[in-house]
Amino acid sequence: MQYNVAQLLKASIGTAFQADIHEEDVQLDSDLKILGAINGHVRMRRTDYGLLVDGWVDLTLPMVCDRCLKPFEQPMHITFEELFYPTIDVTSGVPVPPPLGEDEGFPIDEHHQLDLSEAVRQHLLLELPMRALCREDCPGLCPQCGHDLSLGPCQCQPEIDPRWGALAELLQQRLPSQA
């Protein structure tokens, strides 16, 4: 996801460039494996500081369900909007300091190559679900025997907390008298 933006950096403020994204075998992070290709769209607009880049990507991540521990594929739609600034002046070749501070935006390398990988990685990490579920109504595993409850109920009797044992005895005593 690299683009040579030298011509865009030479253009007047407001000039835009658009491109479709289709990348195979992209590795954004050692912990994030991507299945298949990344597809999307990017738009780059020249600003007085550098380039304002926005767009979206669609990708699929392999995940493991937090409830039933089965692997599944999670499709993700990631949108992003970031400022990229040049590190080398495109006309003179002189190093340029970051315009807004180093924490504001992403650098464009000395060869005027803009790499979207880090911006997409950061937005992907923000979009990851807090709890990975293979489906919303996944029943999970039985806490006693480990049976997959999506295959049907298990034969386990519910555990009664010993602290509630006295109440359970009272309930048993009341039930026969009501019958």
Compute, in degrees rounded to 10, the torsion defined by CA atoms 136, 137, 142, 148. -90
- 160-176: per-residue pLDDT in tens? 778 887 887 888 887 66
Average pLDDT on 146-166 reads 84
Report the chain's mean pLDDT, rounded to a whole number.
88
Contact 80, 59 (CB under 8 A): no
Alpha-carbon distance 76 to 22, whole Å?
15
- For the chain, which residues make up each domain, given as ranges? 2-127, 149-178
Closest to 55 measured CA to CA, from 46, 43, 39, 47: 43
Confidence of residue 102 (pLDDT cuts 50, 70, 90): low
- Whether the Cβ atoms of residue 4 and residue 112 lie closer than 8 Å to each other: yes
pLDDT digits (tens, 9 = 90+) for 19-44: 999 999 888 888 888 999 999 999 99
Name the pairing type of β-strands 113-115 and 35-46: unpaired
Position 145 pLDDT exceeds 70: yes
pLDDT at 103 over 80: no
Question: pTM of the entire structure?
Answer: 0.79
